[in-house]
Amino acid sequence: MQILVKGKQVDVGDALRGYVEERLENGVAKYFDNAIDATVVISRDAHQFRTDCTVHVGTGIHAKSHATSDNAHTCFDAAAERLEKQLRRYKRRLRSHHNNQSRRNQEELLAQSYILTPAEEDDNAPDDAEEPQPVVIAETTTDVPFATTSEAVMRLDLTDSAALMFRNVAHGGLNVVYRRADGNIGWIDPKLPDGSAKS
């Protein structure tokens, strides 16, 4: 596994870099012996350190974790422990997903993802003035995977995301799973009145 350790406003010394590489290599190898790559970013967040870990464990599957602490080593250990816990929890399903993926030779979808910032309102503007438009501050392309609902929930947990769009293997339609404010997972599956899914 190729591991990239970066510091953001932090000088990552050789000792910390070596520790991170060894711990991550050993921790991930317990569950996946053929992980592709990993990135660890250690940064300063006011008076604390923040560690963000991302491991690419297979085709289209990334596991992410983060932690904060007042010590860089402790911070990384907490993020690595959380990552290992996720991999342990989903180990069997990830391996089964890898085997099922080879059977799914369906065309992958790509989706544009945007981050918008609200436009500032002008209190002195006349009432008939045009509505302020949000400004695009980031733009990326994201794969929309073919998955079952349970696989989509697993991916949502692994990436610690708020929402995930996927194509449902059962009917090929677009679905969304999302993290609700109460901690539960919501699932949106648009269907037409005749019971068929809308593509």
Angle, CA of 60, 62 and 65, to the nearest 5°:
165
Pairing of strands 146-147, 163-168: parallel
Cα–Cα distance measured from residue 111 to residue 157, given in angstroms and rounded to the nearest whole number: 20
Map out the domains of the chain as residue ranges.
2-103, 109-188
Write down the pLDDT at residue 132: 65
Q: What are the two backbone dihedrals, phi and then psi, of residue 126, each rounded to the nearest 5 degrees?
A: -65, 155
**Closest by alpha carbon to 175, among 139, 140, 141, 151?**
151
What confidence score (pLDDT) does residue 35 get?
Answer: 84
Q: For the chain, how far is it from start to end, CA to CA, in angstroms? A: 38
Fold of 109-188: SHC Adaptor Protein (3.30.505)
Position 22, amino acid: E
pLDDT given at position 134: 67
**What span, in angstroms and rounded, lies between the C-alpha atoms of 84 and 150?**
20
Query: Minimal CA–CA distance to 20: which of 44, 55, 56, 48?
Result: 55
Q: What is the CATH number of domain 2-103?
A: 3.30.160.100
Backbone angles phi, psi at 22, to 5 degrees: -65, -45
Q: What is the pLDDT of residue 105?
A: 47
User: What does each of the 199 residues of the chain score in pLDDT, given as a tens digit?
Assistant: 899 999 998 889 999 999 999 999 999 888 887 888 999 999 998 889 999 999 988 777 888 999 999 999 999 999 999 999 888 888 877 766 555 554 454 556 666 666 666 656 555 656 666 666 667 666 777 778 888 898 899 888 888 788 999 999 888 889 999 999 998 999 999 875 565 555 5
pLDDT of residue 106: 52
User: Is the Cβ–Cβ distance between 34 and 43 less than 8 Å?
Assistant: no
Q: What CA–CA distance (Å, rounded) separates 20 from 40?
A: 8
